[in-house]
Amino acid sequence: MTTTARRTSRRNRSRAGLAVAAVAAFGGAAGFGWARLERSPWMRVEHVNVRGLARLSADEVVAYAGLTRRESLLRLPTEKLEERLAAHPWVKHVTVRRAWPPTVVIDVEERRPVAWVLDDRPWVIDADAHPFKAWDVADRLDLPVVTGIDSGTGEPGDAELTRESLEEAVAMLDELAHLEPAPAFDELHRGPEGRWSIVAASGREIVLGDRAGAARAWERYRWLAPRLERETGAGVLRVDVSDARDAYVLMDPEGGPAPRAAVPRSAARL
């Protein structure tokens, strides 16, 4: 290598070294500046805006997330906060994001409870037929109970507590809610062969049959009920209006002349 070539090589290595040193210095300064920015009081969370709540309170959500005003907006672990909040039984879906001035925005979609399933332990089910929590008197839920679906263990998601049966129950509840007028009842029971019945607060059971025929069955019962009250008083325990041809009535032995009576077809048919 000639003298000129050696000098050129040394100059190139010097320039490369200076460039590396400059980049390192700039990166260090940037990292130092970013660290200072993260710790800056200007980056501390000032507000937490929780939206979409109906049952939970904003304070409950913030406490469950473990969020404090000492948090740096830049260091905020939004994904971890979402995972933490998603574990709350009443939370169906949640998103957490940053906003300015330093604010945490939490959008919550709560579960909508529709009934509770009477199992070994009662479980509350939502509109998606998901048993999401054990029933607690502190929840103060005025909901009908679904019976005739038994898991044998009381654990949500049990293989015996079939998804299909729960979805069928929720669909039946929705069907009943849209009837005019909607029936008032405390219990929805799934009987043999999937025949559904409702139990009123008085204890009277009204057998409606399958979901497809529930509306017509309810119309038959509404037509028949005044006659039953006139002729039997309060002694009716069970009325089966699931068959369009006949309606069957089970009487209280102390409230009527016979333990069981069948209403003639002409009276039951609409």
* Mean pLDDT of successive 10-residue stretches along the chain, which has 270 residues: 51 43 40 52 78 95 87 82 96 94 93 88 91 88 88 49 84 94 94 91 93 95 89 82 90 55 36
What is the pLDDT, as a whole number, of residue 254? Answer: 65
Among 58, 77, 110, residue at a domain's last position: 110
Task: Please report which helix (H) or strand (E) contains residue 262, including its range.
Answer: strand 260-263
- We report the CATH number of the domain holding residue 154 as 3.40.50.11690
Of 81, 110, 139, the last residue of a domain is 110
114-120-124 Cα angle (round to 5):
15
Q: Are residues 66 and 154 in the same domain?
A: no
| Claim to verify: residue 31 and residue 71 sit in the same structural domain | no
Identify which of 185, 190, 225 has the alpha carbon closest to the alpha carbon of residue 210: 190
Q: Are 71 and 165 found together in one domain?
A: no
89 lies in which domain range?
Answer: 41-110
Domain boundary among 110, 132, 159: 110
Which residue reads 């937490």 in tokens? 48
Q: What is the pLDDT of residue 188?
A: 96
Number of domains into which the chain is organized: 3
What single DSSP character describes residue 234? Answer: T
Supply the pTM of this predicted model: 0.72
Do 122 and 99 lie in one domain? The reply is no
CB atoms within 10 A of CB 168: 19
- Rounded to whole angstroms, the Cα distance separating 57 from 41 reads 28
pLDDT of residue 156: 52
Tell me, yes or no, whether 29 and 45 share the same domain. Answer: no
| Residues 8 and 121 reside in one and the same domain | no
Do 249 and 233 fall into the same domain?
A: yes
Q: Identify whether residues 45 and 4 lie together within a single domain.
A: no
57 & 32 share domain: no
Give the pLDDT score at 35: 57
Which domain CATH number covers 50?
3.10.20.310
Same domain, 202 and 246: yes
Q: Which residue type, as a one-letter code, is found at position 174?
A: D
User: Which of 223, 213, 221 has the alpha carbon at shortest distance from 238?
Assistant: 221
Residue 30 shares a structural domain with residue 143? no
Q: What is the pLDDT of residue 19?
A: 40
Determine what percent of the chain falls in helix, strand and coil, rounding each to the nearest 5. 40, 25, 35
| Structural contact between residues 196 and 206, judged by C-beta atoms closer than 8 angstroms | no
* Same domain for 228 and 126: yes
